[in-house]
Chain A
Amino acid sequence: MAETLLFNALREAIDEEMGRDDTVFVLGEDVGVYGGSYKVTKDLYDKYGELRVLDTPIAENSFTGMAVGAAMTGLRPIIEGMNMGFLLLAFNQIANNAGMLRYTSGGNYKIPMVIRGPGGVGRQLGAEHSQRLEAYFQAVPGLKIVACSTPYNAKGLLKAAIRDDNPVLFFEHVLLYNLKEDLPNHEYVVPLDKAEIVRPGKDVTILTYSRMRHHVTQAVKGLEKKGLDPEVIDLISLKPLDFDTIGASIKKTHRVIIVEECMKTGGIGAEIIASINDRYFDELDAPVVRLSSQDIPTPYNGKLETLTIVQPKQIEAAVENMVALKV
């Protein structure tokens, strides 16, 4: 076991996969000589050279399309979005070509690529650097969307994403890069399509992902003291959703609270609620509750920013309310 920071866990994943398969390469802004703005590719340039750790000009749409072309012709690119928000400029290449081209080509080409980088609301970075893009991208056919949340799953999931033959949007969170955890010394891979049961429980199912997992964990401490027993599920895969795990939990608790960092309108939670209604309506004892961040551009001011995203106290209150209504 070795205590590892999350950004280093990601770095190990990339390093191991580049060592294992020489068609894997990294490209993006400042990934090479500079080592990545969050040091996820530190020293890899020296180890693998300038073509395998390719510093690109600041041209998001074009270098993303370039990665699509490289993937179509047999390489396995990993794009680092310096900040995932910048990928708004690459929306066309991600949607039309990474996402849809396999289908449009009738299966002529596959596009094994990973688009990874820091997303989410940081600390007072202002609206443009505090985006919640997972909701924008979830409607694109052909993309897999994954959000890591711990050093352990970050490493195992990124390795799986690199090995996957599909385009994977891989969300890291700016505020989680310095999380520490003891990681196994042996190699491991975490499947992309499985949600993680963070805490088994029986009273209510809490579905969450990315940084909100840690807000939920904090809330659970308070709830435990009050004798409550929630089940916490980290979705991991935001698309496709793991309804085996979600469904099994609903059949046990009959109550669902979704805690997400994305906006409420058209968010991940909105999609989950609609799907739960389709699949498990008869299992529910109460309407699904959704705690999302506010439908506003993330404000700079610290107090307003705190009000914008879901806080542990709100989660505690929501669980208590729901359990109190128990018949």
Chain B
Amino acid sequence: MVQERTLPQFQASAAQISPEEGLRLYEDMVLGRFFEDKCAEMYYRGKMFGFVHLYNGQEAVSSGVIKSLRSDDYVCSTYRDHVHALSAGVPAKNVMAELFGKETGCSRGRGGSMHLFSSEHNMLGGFAFIGEGIPVALGAAFQSRYRRDALGDPSADQVTACFFGDGTSNNGQFFECLNMAALWKLPILFVVENNKWAIGMAHERATSQPEIYKKASVFGMPGVEVDGMDVMAVREVAQQAVARARAGEGPTLIEALTYRFRGHSLADPDELRSKAEKEAWLARDPIKRFEAYLLEHSLVDEGALKAVRDRIQTTIDDALTFAEESPEPSPDDLYKYIFAED
């Protein structure tokens, strides 16, 4: 097993969070976790198909970053996109219905697990090829700058958060877009979720410089590493990066050190990762950790946390019922949505 990286220090005691916001973050993480657990169950029961990539273990990254955004900001994801979509506000029932291939799905059953979209929530996708979402996110960020500086609209200060994995940071689109984002000072956060593995390829075997955040410096942009299992730490770096982007100071590269608690996809036997490695990371479960934080700082009590979990359980149950009862797309609509006029 490769030596684990030393996690960056974070002064949790210095961080401030209100009980309301603490509960909001907690709720978002629990939603992500419960949703994914339900997906695994439904997949094994033959209710959903294709490649399904779950996010268990990485929730602090999605919640810490996306909950630091405004609702008119943009989110761009990968194939591991369910939880990013949920954090961005896409209702669980529409995500679940999409996984069931239903007309009521956020992509009307045409996309599936790896292609979640919602223009209403500025969720740009859902991209199944690694790296291809990065330029699209760059385009959304360019659009904000264009409206502000070419069209003179001072309210155009939207920020784009672009998520992708450690393996993807070896792809050319990553470097090309870092260059353009820094060159044009675009309001974008590149969030690398370094979960140490790209399917079966260990990060250290794929890259000459495993500390991804350091790659920012050659483009003259800030790069920060953060403990991706600590939502308070992620939130802190995200808020700073969002503030910079919103102020017109350009992009930030954030490397969140995290871990997926399940195989690469539900089709992956997950035989390469050692038991010791998995156990070490499971012990750092971001949800348990945040529960402890909230209780320790007397921000909330156990009853409040349980109420959140119960509410989310109902949301998931309702989402499932909605997905099951929703109609499939009509065969008459097979050709719908190919062109803009359809």
Which residues does A use to contact B, with CB under 8 Å?
22-23, 25, 49, 51-52, 56-57, 59, 61-75, 92-93, 96-97, 101-112, 141-142, 144, 164-166
B264 within 8 A of partner (CB): no
Report Cα–Cα, A282/B105, bound state, in Å: 45
Query: Which residues of B have CB within 8 Å of A105?
Result: 107, 110-111, 115, 117, 119, 125-126, 337
Residue of A nearest to B183 (CB): A57
**Contact with A69, one of B117, B119, B137 (Cβ below 8 angstroms):** B137
Complex Cα gap A101–B74 (Å): 17
The 3 A-B residue pairs whose C-beta atoms are closest, nearest first, are: A69-B139, A65-B135, A106-B108
CB under 8 Å from chain A, chain B span 120-146: 124-129, 132, 134-146
Nearest-Cβ distance from residue A60 to partner chain B, whole angstroms: 9
Besides the known contacts A56-B180, A104-B111, 6 further A-B residue pairs in the complex with CB atoms under 8 A apart: A22-B150, A62-B134, A66-B139, A70-B139, A72-B136, A165-B340
Nearest chain-B residue to A142 (Cβ)? B338
Residues A92 and B139 in contact, CB atoms below 8 Å apart: no
Given contacts A106-B107, A142-B338, A62 and B176 within 8 Å (CB-CB): yes
A102 lies within 8 A of B140 (CB): no
Smallest CB separation, B301 vs chain A (Å): 41
Query: Does B220 count as interface, using CB distance less than 8 angstroms?
Result: no
A68 to B, closest residue via Cβ:
B136
Complex CA–CA separation, A25 to B184 (angstroms):
15
Q: Is the CB of A103 within 8 A of B337?
A: yes
Rounded to whole angstroms, the CA-CA distance of A71 and B139 in the bound complex is 8
Chain A residues near B136 (CB, 8 Å)? 65-66, 68-69, 72, 97
Interchain CB contact under 8 A, A62 and B180: yes
Q: Say whether A69 contacts B135, CB under 8 Å.
A: yes
Closest to B98 in A: A106
Q: Mark B192-209, 1 if CB is under 8 A from A, else 0.
A: 000000000000000000
Closest Cβ of chain B: how far from A137's Cβ, in Å? 15
A110 pairs with B140, CB closer than 8 A: no
Residues of A within 8 Å of B111, CB to CB, are: 104-106
- Judge whether A69 and B173 touch: CB under 8 Å: no
With contacts A103-B110, A109-B119, A142-B338 known, is A57 near B179, CB below 8 A? yes
Do A52 and B338 form a contact, CB below 8 Å, given A69-B139, A72-B136? no
Q: Which residue of B lies closest to A110 (CB)?
A: B340
User: Could you say which of A51, A65, A104 contacts B173, with CB atoms under 8 Å apart?
Assistant: A65
Does residue B50 face the partner (Cβ distance < 8 Å to A)?
A: no
Q: Which residues of B contact A64 (CB under 8 A)?
A: 135
Partner pick for A102 among B132, B143, B151, B340, CB 8 A cutoff? B340
Chain A residues within an 8 Å CB radius of B137: 69
Instruction: Determine if B176 and A72 form an interchain contact, defined as CB atoms under 8 angstroms apart.
Output: no
Rounded to whole angstroms, the CA-CA distance of A73 and B134 in the bound complex is: 15
Q: Does A70 contact B142, Cβ atoms closer than 8 Å?
A: yes
Question: For residue A61, which residues in chain B have a CB less than 8 angstroms away from its CB?
Answer: 135, 172-173, 176
A72 to B136, CA, bound (A): 9
B109, CB-defined interface residue at 8 Å:
yes
B341: Cβ under 8 A from any A Cβ: yes
Q: A69-B135, A107-B337, A142-B339 are in contact. Are A62 and B146 (CB under 8 A)?
A: no
B302 located at the interface, meaning its Cβ lies under 8 Å from any Cβ of chain A in the complex: no
A65-B134 in contact (CB<8A): yes
B69 to chain A, nearest CB (A): 15
B117 and A108 contacting across the interface, CB-CB below 8 Å:
yes
A57, A70, A74, A144: the one within 8 Å of B176 (CB): A57
Q: In the assembled complex, which residues on chain A have CB atoms less than 8 Å from the CB atom of B183? A: 57
Check A51 against B149 for contact (C-beta < 8 Å): yes
Residues on B with C-beta less than 8 A from A56 are 180
- Given A49-B150, A66-B139, are A112 and B340 neighbors across the interface (CB < 8 Å)? yes
Interface flags, B144-176, vs A, CB<8A=1, else 0 = 111001110000000000000000000011001
Q: B146 and A66: CB pair below 8 A?
A: no
Q: Using CB atoms, name the residue of chain A closest to B174.
A: A62
> Is B62 interfacial (CB-CB < 8 Å)?
no
**Residue B336 interfacial (CB < 8 Å):** yes
Q: Which residues of B contact A57 (CB under 8 A)?
A: 176, 179-180, 183
> Given A49-B150, A104-B111, A108-B118, A73 and B338 touching (CB < 8 A)?
no
- Across-interface contacts of A72 in B (CB, < 8 A): 119, 124, 136, 139-140
Would B138 and A62 count as touching, CB distance under 8 A?
A: yes
Across the interface, which residues of B come within 8 angstroms of A51, CB to CB? 145-146, 149-150
Contacts of B149 in A (CB 8 A): 51
